[in-house]
Amino acid sequence: MSVQEIIPDERIDITDVNCPITFVKTKVALDELDVGQILQVHLNGGEPIQNVPRSVKDEGHIVLNITENDDGTYELFIKKNEE
């Protein structure tokens, strides 16, 4: 699935926070979605891009795609799964 085909239901920007708050904000945003909806997360490289996708998978959600932006930030697309 290419990024152009992914239409998120919600978007959040967590580039202004550090771990572990990055995952906390992502989890809160996912909690507000219905099963099957998609969350787009704008986040930094380093710890956030290493930890947030792993933590999301550990929670049972599906990482659809991760793309790197020209400025070194990333877009993470998560499909909410049953918890």
Which tens digits make up the pLDDT trace of 44-76?
Answer: 999 999 999 999 999 999 999 999 999 999 999
Catalytic residue among 19, 33, 64, 66: 19
Question: Distance between CA atoms of 83 and 75, rounded to whole angstroms?
Answer: 23
Work out the mean pLDDT of the chain and round it to a whole number: 93
Active site residue 19: yes
Burial of 34 (0-12, 13-18, 19+ CB in 10 A): exposed
- pLDDT at residue 19 is higher than 90: no
**pTM metric for this prediction:** 0.92
- Which pLDDT belongs to residue 3? 57
